[in-house]
Chains A and B, each alone.
Chain A
Amino acid sequence: MTDFDSFPTEGFKGGDKELQEFLMVEKQKAQFNAQIHEFNDFCWEKCVDKPSNKLDSRTETCLTNCVDRFIDVSLLITNRFSQLLQKSGGM
């Protein structure tokens, strides 16, 4: 997928303020979108069975929970990992 991290927000140092700001906002929006694509990719696999006329409420709940729990897991692992690093004397 498009590599939004290489988006040139740094290249305009000393350049146009308005452009810098514009690129920052667009970069954030693009990263947000990329994240949703990623969530939708694996939450779809976890929650959706055969496609029907509409998403039933069970599937909707599953999708919403999937996003929240993924973020929980990500935060938990990040915190525990940094604790492990500290315990082992850091890197």
Chain B
Amino acid sequence: MDSVSNLTGAQKDELMDTVKQQIAVANAQELLTKMTEKCFKKCISKPGTSLDSSEQKCIAMCMDRYMDSWNLISRAYSMRIQRERSLN
């Protein structure tokens, strides 16, 4: 780990960018996996020979709602954290 302390400023910036990017990718992958699982469950009651248009519409709506829900929960969670902090 010694080499980490000998990084130039530019190398450090690059390292930080890489870390940020990898976290963003992991986050997106998690969202994608969860969304696929949840929306498949909600929209495809009986898998047919193809995705019909109503199923496709349902999937599109489900994706949008899943992200709405994600944002709402993110807000609720950070508000709760703030409340707990002001109590202690």
Contact = CB atoms under 8 A, between A and B. Distances in A.
Interface of A: 1-2, 11-12, 14-16, 18-19, 22-23, 26, 29-30, 32-37, 39-41, 43-45, 47-48, 50-55, 60, 63-64, 66-68, 71
Contact of B72 (A11, A23, A35, A63): A63
Contacts of B42: 48, 50-51
B12 A39 contact: no
B44 interface: no
B84 to A, nearest CB: 8
A7 to B, nearest CB: 9
The 9 closest A-B pairs by CB, nearest first: A51-B62, A67-B76, A2-B26, A51-B61, A64-B76, A51-B65, A15-B5, A15-B4, A39-B73
Contact of A32 (B5, B70, B77): B77
A48 B76 CA distance: 16
Interface of B: 1, 4-5, 7, 12, 15-16, 19-20, 23, 26-27, 30-31, 34, 38-39, 42-43, 58, 61-62, 64-66, 68-70, 72-74, 76-78, 80
Contacts of A18: 12
Nearest to B41: A45
A25 B70 CA distance: 21
